[in-house]
Amino acid sequence: MSNKPTAKPTKSERTRAAILEAARELFTEFGYQAATVRDVAHRASIDPAMVIRYFGSKEELFARAASIRLNVPQLKVVDSQAIGETLVRHFLNLWEGPESSCGMAVLLRSAASNEFAAEKMRDVFAAQVRPVVASVGDPATAARRAGLVSSQLLGLAMCRYILRLPPVVDLSQVEIVRAIGPTLQSYVMATDEDAMCKI
């Protein structure tokens, strides 16, 4: 054990990090089922048995690899007319920015055919999207408004990064912001009179 309370001098749990990185890459590319423990081990240049010893099981490894922090910006400090654009820009940056690999691809690849991933997706929504939307407008309608926002952003991700629908892949970031920004703006700002609650 080299777990000193402070200052961990990185032993050979570079191995652990290597496994986790390999897992992220393969889960991102092939999804939970198709990415095998043996594949992960091979990419991390280590024996499959170590993957299990370090993470307990494939499920736990996936859970580790699928942790997401959206870091959605606080909407109250944003020009209320520019909330939609801000959200789209942030979302594009999560997927295509310099650090990229926000981890959403890991989840989105598997969420459709893996209940565990789907539940984690719902958790991310409840913990990181809904609260942000709730910070502006009527809190009573926040969940619905956040749901609409998610439907558009998740659909964008599906078409652009997962299915790779050519016309959506070909769009520039600016075009996406101009097209989808107003949509999100209307969803976030929707009131009862618009369409949200009564009938």
> Of DNA, a second copy, none, which one sits near residue 113, judging by CB under 5 to 8 A according to partner kind?
a second copy
Query: CB of residue 105 vs a second copy: minimum separation in angstroms?
Result: 10
Contact by Cβ (8 Å): 72, 129: yes
* CB distance 52 to 46 below 8 Å: no
* Closest CB to a second copy among residues 13, 29: 29
Mask 48-77, x = binds DNA (CB under 7 A)? xxxxxx---xxx------------------
Nearer to DNA, 36 or 93 (CB): 36
Residue 196: CB partners within 8 Å, gap ≥ 6?
Answer: 141, 144, 145, 190
Is residue 15 close enough to count as binding DNA by CB under 7 A?
yes
- Asked whether 92 and 177 are in contact (CB, 8 A), the reply is yes
Considering the rule CB under 7 A, would residue 150 count as an interface residue with DNA? no
* Site residues, a second copy (CB under 8 A): 30-34, 108-113, 118, 121-122, 125, 130, 143-144, 146-148, 150-156, 158-160, 162-168, 170-172, 174-175, 178-180, 182-183, 186-187, 190, 194-197, 199
Distance CA(63)–CA(60), nearest Å, equals: 5
147 binds DNA (CB under 7 A): no
DSSP string, 93-128: HHHHSSS---SHHHHHHHHTT-HHHHHHHHHHIIII
Total number of residues that touch DNA (CB under 7 A)? 23
Task: Using the minimum distance from each CB to DNA, give the nearer residue, 39 or 85.
Answer: 39
Q: How far is the CB of 64 from DNA (least distance, A)?
A: 13
179 in the Ramachandran plot: left (φ > 0), alpha (ψ -120 to 50) or beta?
A: alpha
Crossing angle for the helix pair 48-55 and 58-65, to the nearest 10 degrees = 70
In the complex, the residues that contact DNA under the rule CB under 7 A are: 1-2, 11-13, 15, 35-39, 45-53, 57-59
